[in-house]
Homo-oligomer: A and B are copies of this chain.
Amino acid sequence: MPPDCFRHEALGVVFQVRDKRLSVLLCQRAEPPFEGAWMLPGGLLLADERLGASAGRHLAAKADIPEIAHLEQLETRSDPVRDPRERVLATAYLALVTPGARARLPADTAWHPVDELPPCAFDHRSIIGSARERLRAKLSYTNIGFALAPETFTISQLRDTYAAALGHPVSATNLQRILTRRGVIEPTSDVTRPAASGGRPATLYRFASRELVVTNPFAAFRPRGTAGALTV
């Protein structure tokens, strides 16, 4: 192998909100190095393959994940000794899946709440940290929540989803108003039936778009009335 030529892997940080906790998909290693530790799903980049496609392919192969609602590139790690066996560059992807379809997982693969991560192989723990930061930030200024929520949902369910992903309590009252004003969510004509204990039926909402949209553009120091206009 020529000296200025490297293997390159795509890693997926797959987040799903499960049982009101943000969880990440991990695979347990059966061999050294890091035997018994947990690693992010992923694998080597092939010739004529793009990194995003490679991440998607490995996730589909490893965990039979039915549908990834959102996939975006995070960062590339290049420490020459991040893999002690051989140099491998790694490009990490943030992948979000909705709580609907539960994939059948191989025996070595499981969901782990991000608050209770097991020992992780390589630099994967810090990659998960980066992914979490990215998710937290984008929840604040985009509609990225669509990729963590089911097709329709009540505001209470959405509050639990946001609270799990953000890591702090969220007010259902304000969540509804802010996301509605921004045009991120909209009510459907359906309502839920209340539980046996009673209570008012909840309106079902949906996301207005299931594509990533920036709803809160960075606008510091911009004069009024120049919403998107630039002097380009």
Which residues of chain A have a CB within 8 Å of any CB of chain B?
1-8, 44-52, 73, 75-76, 78-80, 87, 89, 91, 115, 136-137, 139-141, 162, 166-171, 174-175, 178, 216, 218-223, 226, 229-232
| Contact (A87, B47) CB under 8 Å given A139-B220, A169-B223, A219-B140 | yes
Q: Would you call the interface of chain A mostly helix, strand, loop, or mixed?
A: loop
Q: How far does the Cβ of A114 sit from chain B's closest Cβ, in whole Å?
A: 8
Q: Given the complex, which residues of B lie within 8 Å of A75, measured CB to CB?
A: 73
The answer for the CA separation of A47 and B80 in the assembled complex, in Å, is: 8
Copies of this protein in the assembly total: 2
Do B80 and A51 touch (CB < 8 A)? no
Q: In the docked arrangement, what's the CA distance between A45 and B3, Å?
A: 10
Judge whether A89 and B168 touch: CB under 8 Å: no
A223 touches which of B47, B50, B171 (Cβ 8 Å): B171
Q: A6: shortest Cβ distance to chain B, in Å?
A: 6
Which chain B residue lies CB-closest to A174? B221
